[in-house]
A and B are shown apart, each in its own frame.
Chain A
């Protein structure tokens, strides 16, 4: 909770002023019973009534109300400003932190959880902050203020306040402490429902193809039922607050009536004073009801805050771990590999990668060099580590062993922004973002001219795609690029990477949705770019066979490096892959 408070810092002024004005309002309210007591004792004393005095007191009551209202509205304004500002800042920071999160942690948490954190959790927090600023100071002030006022009237009667208030506090806080973990569980149940909803939307075709609508529905209903059960359970418990406080306050009033009777009997108190004291006790009840509601809200908000905070913290932990990794690898590098670092444009120096939490290494002993302008093909079976290997280049995952050097510099010591500017990546999953074609292409280079965009589109064989859309470059792209087919998306993502002609271009199995004809044209166009170093990850031998250097991976290890002809001679796995695709072709030619 404490870590979240820093988001209120920018609103220190508001956060102080809001409760202060609320306090002012409370103080004015505390005067009301005194005024009423005066009306009874001075205006309505038996045989000595005074109507003008009563009217004067009535006007004072009105004055108190007016000033109170102005104070309250001022307070509401500051509270709203602080709370809304708080949540906006928090959301922004959360989003920034999620963006900084490494991919492994992202996989672990799941998108839907993160979305609940950023939306409903933050909303609850905003509401919580708002209410706390409005009521948290006001309620105790009214409670203790009423007690103090009671003391000024009669010490003996006021002692009842001293007993009642701690009792009330115990109930209110006790219920809060117990229900807090329960609310956490409820939120967990809500996460599950959310995850299931998303899943049903993304998998709608498969679900319908397998006619799973009913079983999906019953799973959902099951989860939903569990959630409801948890909610009613917590509800039953937190519903105790109001009845219990009611009992205590009215118990105290009974005691006050008795003490009042005794004190009036002995002449120590007047009738009006007893009324005033009872009114104070009633004021406490009203305020406590508010406080109890506030506490419920706060327990919810605190549970939300906890979970939001976890997202903020999780990020730090992961990054620290990488910080260590970075240092270690650079030490190793400094020791034995400084000569090697400069031996070529890019040097993979016994680089290895073990994902966080995974038992086995995904990549071991990647050791090769690449010259500027070369085309490097990477081929291998599913799960052989092809994608992981190219992910080392933009340092999306830092090498956990050995090091990778670009022009003599360890990748991990290059500022990631500067490094990634040099690199164009076409990821396996062809995703476009909501906006326009232009806004998507500009991801590659912010200030690219239309000419540059069209050139990239031409190389990516995507000119037709764009020309076929209304508005061409300004054609609308829906969320996730849904209004484009898989192949169209893929070509556009290739174009996106090509905008700005990156020094290093990485194609991570990114022609899979293209037909052979387009694939071939694409490769031809790519081969005409001379300055870029190109990495092509593929499962098609045809995609890599013309590369200057082909790296064959199997189970995270290099099992062959060389050109197509060399590998056909000496690499069994490459032969197997190659002939699985060209076998029939050779037969045909032979025949």
Chain B
């Protein structure tokens, strides 16, 4: 989080654009249709001023001399062209919508795909709100910019070219004036755009900061209330809000300067065309050549507008695109984060493990210069029960992170049934473990969906059986729709204990050969716990189990007790031998009855 980029270097912008095009590539046929239609629209749109100019020249005949047949002919031409233009416009817009929304969809899918393979060390470090804001808000802003870019950039560029051609055919002198003066608006716009870029970047950053705060505070509203911190939190929020206000004001105002300034340049062009055109009309009148008619002048004036308008739009689009590119680079940054270490081609697929887990001289650290686990060796025979105990923060959960390969060891090896786990497919390794974590997690969906996670094809009987074994059947049945009750994000209305029971049920259903229980029963009342302990006992029979436990009964029944302190195993043995040893463990054990 600390090293967020302050602004996009030039090369970065180019790279980002390249990446965007890689996404657009998949929609090339539609893109081609869209570009062709844009061409058609431009040509047709440009013909209307010519025809109108022709009509104006027909009026020059004056009172009583109008050739109505000719006027009618022009009217019909305009009518046909107008209808064709409208149809082409609609189809083109639809194509552009299609491309934009599908690109957005693809990017979001890729981001989600990436999320599934990112190392936990990355995800643990990143604020949830920040990632969510990248995948949702940033992609949205990007979509808006891209859509605008499509609909206006194409037609804009084509209109400029088309207009030039049409104008040159009439008068090259006036055309040159238009061509020379108009790019002024480009420079003005570019100048403004480069200067607003930083403001947009800052706005984006402050916004992410605010999202993170909202997430933290809204998610823990109850605590905020219990401590009467509403005012302070509000103050904190308002402070960020003020900064966002300032950043936004600058971004919004400075980017809005583009329009009036470029419009001013256009007006200069318009006035010049009027005067210069007037001069040529007079000249051709005195020559009697009719090289430059009043009708052509009106046509020219219309073009002067049309020619400069896309410049305005393009420059407007450029600011919008700039914003979009910043957002895109934020999302690409996420998509391109290094994934977990790839599995070797020949990674072994561990079928049903016997359950011999061996740790050999394992070293591990979260932070480079702070070693946490040092020289840790352990040999667990199949079916044995390992209890990990020790003061909080001594590295117990870290052991789980390593066993499951959420993190990789820095030194040494961990092996299952003789296979180094780094040479196994993650999938097969993990599916051999059943895990209940300290912090319960349920997804929004039905109770049933949450239970069958480990075994999607489970039958109703199996589910009920598992639920009964985990003692969750009772409360599930009492819910409004039983197993089909929809629970909200993070379990919603369920109590902590009920959530835990559901997580246990989930495990009961699939019963892998090895188990990892991380303080799994800590939020369940002791009455229920007895039943669960019994169920666990059956479940653990013949299964290698790792239990991070505080319950004495669990610890006492373990085959191996690892007593950990500061990342190291300081004692190892069973309950009796450790008590007899009279070390740290016996101190822990006896302190229970201190009061």
Select from chain B the residue with minimum beta-carbon distance to A380: B525
Decide: B113 and A217 in contact? CB cutoff 8 A.
Answer: yes
Partner of B227, one of A211, A254, A425, A577: A425
A513 CB-CB contact with B under 8 Å: yes
A413 CB-CB contact with B under 8 Å: no
Interface residues in A125-161 (C-beta closer than 8 Å to B)? 126, 130, 134
The docked-state distance in angstroms from the alpha carbon of A201 to that of B443 is: 11
B28 CB-CB contact with A under 8 Å: no
Interface residues in B86-118 (C-beta closer than 8 Å to A)? 86-87, 89-90, 93-94, 97-98, 101-102, 104-105, 108-109, 112-113, 115-117
Decide: B253 and A80 in contact? CB cutoff 8 A.
Answer: yes
Decide: A580 and B526 in contact? CB cutoff 8 A.
Answer: yes
Decide: A194 and B132 in contact? CB cutoff 8 A.
Answer: yes
Contacts of B475 in A (CB 8 A): 383
Contacts of B36 in A (CB 8 A): none
Select from chain B the residue with minimum beta-carbon distance to A242: B89
The docked-state distance in angstroms from the alpha carbon of A399 to that of B576 is: 50
A260 CB-CB contact with B under 8 Å: yes
A339 CB-CB contact with B under 8 Å: no
B169 CB-CB contact with A under 8 Å: no
- CB A533 to nearest CB in B, in angstroms, measures 16
Decide: B489 and A199 in contact? CB cutoff 8 A.
Answer: yes
Partner of B526, one of A213, A231, A416, A539: A539
- CB B440 to nearest CB in A, in angstroms, measures 9
Decide: B136 and A120 in contact? CB cutoff 8 A.
Answer: yes
B40 CB-CB contact with A under 8 Å: no
Partner of B136, one of A126, A190, A204: A190
Contacts of A580 in B (CB 8 A): 526-527, 529-530
Select from chain B the residue with minimum beta-carbon distance to A112: B489
A96-B234, A479-B127 known; A396+B275 contact, CB < 8 A: no
Q: Known pairs A65-B271, A69-B261. 12 more at Cβ < 8 A?
A: A51-B282, A68-B267, A85-B249, A88-B241, A196-B444, A199-B490, A260-B59, A264-B63, A278-B298, A383-B475, A383-B497, A486-B392
Contacts of A479 in B (CB 8 A): 127-129, 212, 215-216
Q: Mark A464-491, 1 if CB is under 8 A from B, else 0.
A: 0100000000000011101011111011
A235 CB-CB contact with B under 8 Å: yes
Q: Which 3 A-B pairs have the closest CB atoms?
A: A487-B392, A382-B497, A65-B267
Contacts of A69 in B (CB 8 A): 260-261, 263-264, 267
The docked-state distance in angstroms from the alpha carbon of A333 to that of B147 is: 63
Contacts of A103 in B (CB 8 A): 221-222, 225
The docked-state distance in angstroms from the alpha carbon of A306 to that of B219 is: 23
- CB B79 to nearest CB in A, in angstroms, measures 6
Contacts of A199 in B (CB 8 A): 443-444, 489-490
A463 CB-CB contact with B under 8 Å: no
- CB A328 to nearest CB in B, in angstroms, measures 22
The docked-state distance in angstroms from the alpha carbon of A137 to that of B55 is: 33
Partner of B249, one of A81, A382, A434, A584: A81
B356 CB-CB contact with A under 8 Å: no
Contacts of B108 in A (CB 8 A): 193, 220, 224
Q: Mark A62-96, 1 if CB is under 8 A from B, else 0.
A: 10111011001100110111011101100110011
Q: Mark A489-505, 1 if CB is under 8 A from B, else 0.
A: 01100001000000000
Select the stretch in A39-47, A340-348, A451-459 that faces chain B: A39-47
B268 CB-CB contact with A under 8 Å: yes
A518-B391, A581-B526 known; A266+B63 contact, CB < 8 A: yes
Decide: A101 and B132 in contact? CB cutoff 8 A.
Answer: no
A68-B267, A72-B263, A420-B226 known; A527+B93 contact, CB < 8 A: no
Select the stretch in B70-78, B412-420, B538-546 that faces chain A: B70-78
Decide: A488 and B393 in contact? CB cutoff 8 A.
Answer: yes
Contacts of A542 in B (CB 8 A): 592-593, 595
Decide: A224 and B86 in contact? CB cutoff 8 A.
Answer: no
The docked-state distance in angstroms from the alpha carbon of A524 to that of B591 is: 11
Select the stretch in B12-20, B347-355, B375-383, B428-436 that faces chain A: B428-436
Query: How many interface residues does chain A have, given as a range?
Result: 35 or more
Contacts of B433 in A (CB 8 A): 209
The docked-state distance in angstroms from the alpha carbon of A227 to that of B252 is: 29
Decide: A427 and B527 in contact? CB cutoff 8 A.
Answer: no
The docked-state distance in angstroms from the alpha carbon of A85 to that of B270 is: 37
A51-B279, A61-B270 known; A236+B249 contact, CB < 8 A: no
Contacts of A521 in B (CB 8 A): 591, 594
Decide: B527 and A39 in contact? CB cutoff 8 A.
Answer: no
Contacts of B245 in A (CB 8 A): 84-85, 87-88
Decide: B98 and A271 in contact? CB cutoff 8 A.
Answer: no
A80-B252, A99-B224, A231-B101 known; A485+B392 contact, CB < 8 A: yes
Select from chain A the residue with minimum beta-carbon distance to B117: A213
A130-B252, A203-B443 known; A98+B282 contact, CB < 8 A: no
The docked-state distance in angstroms from the alpha carbon of A130 to that of B510 is: 56
A253 CB-CB contact with B under 8 Å: yes
Q: Interface SS of chain A: helix, strand, loop or mixed?
A: helix
Select from chain A the residue with minimum beta-carbon distance to B531: A580
A57 CB-CB contact with B under 8 Å: yes
The docked-state distance in angstroms from the alpha carbon of A105 to that of B227 is: 20
Q: Mark B298-324, 1 if CB is under 8 A from A, else 0.
A: 100110010001000000000000000
Contacts of A392 in B (CB 8 A): none
Decide: B489 and A120 in contact? CB cutoff 8 A.
Answer: no
A43-B278, A236-B94, A246-B82 known; A427+B222 contact, CB < 8 A: yes
Decide: B392 and A513 in contact? CB cutoff 8 A.
Answer: yes
Contacts of B264 in A (CB 8 A): 65-66, 68-69
24 A-B Cβ contacts within 8 A?
A44-B294, A72-B263, A76-B260, A80-B249, A91-B244, A99-B224, A99-B233, A101-B221, A114-B218, A190-B136, A198-B489, A199-B443, A201-B128, A228-B101, A239-B90, A382-B498, A420-B227, A434-B213, A465-B393, A509-B523, A513-B438, A513-B519, A515-B391, A516-B589
Contacts of B79 in A (CB 8 A): 250-251, 254
Q: Mark A218-255, 1 if CB is under 8 A from B, else 0.
A: 00110011011001100110011011101100110110
Decide: B256 and A76 in contact? CB cutoff 8 A.
Answer: yes
B168 CB-CB contact with A under 8 Å: no
Partner of A76, one of B102, B257, B523: B257
Decide: B223 and A282 in contact? CB cutoff 8 A.
Answer: no
Decide: A235 and B101 in contact? CB cutoff 8 A.
Answer: yes
Decide: A115 and B444 in contact? CB cutoff 8 A.
Answer: no
Decide: B82 and A247 in contact? CB cutoff 8 A.
Answer: yes
Decide: A217 and B116 in contact? CB cutoff 8 A.
Answer: yes
The docked-state distance in angstroms from the alpha carbon of A584 to that of B526 is: 14
Partner of B527, one of A61, A99, A275, A381: A381
Select from chain B the residue with minimum beta-carbon distance to A491: B392
B23 CB-CB contact with A under 8 Å: no
Decide: B242 and A36 in contact? CB cutoff 8 A.
Answer: no
- CB B397 to nearest CB in A, in angstroms, measures 7
A120-B140, A194-B136 known; A228+B489 contact, CB < 8 A: no
B558 CB-CB contact with A under 8 Å: no
Partner of B228, one of A96, A200, A421: A421
Decide: A258 and B71 in contact? CB cutoff 8 A.
Answer: yes
Decide: A584 and B556 in contact? CB cutoff 8 A.
Answer: yes
Contacts of B189 in A (CB 8 A): none
- CB A210 to nearest CB in B, in angstroms, measures 5
Partner of B525, one of A116, A198, A425, A539: A539
Select from chain A the residue with minimum beta-carbon distance to B592: A516
Interface residues in A13-68 (C-beta closer than 8 Å to B)? 25, 32, 35-36, 39-40, 43-44, 46, 49, 51, 54-55, 57-59, 61-62, 64-66, 68
The docked-state distance in angstroms from the alpha carbon of A97 to that of B90 is: 43
- CB B217 to nearest CB in A, in angstroms, measures 8
Interface residues in B225-280 (C-beta closer than 8 Å to A)? 225-230, 232-234, 237-238, 241-242, 244-245, 248-249, 252-253, 256-257, 259-261, 263-264, 267-268, 270-272, 274-275, 278-279
B456 CB-CB contact with A under 8 Å: yes
The docked-state distance in angstroms from the alpha carbon of A516 to that of B555 is: 12
Contacts of B476 in A (CB 8 A): none
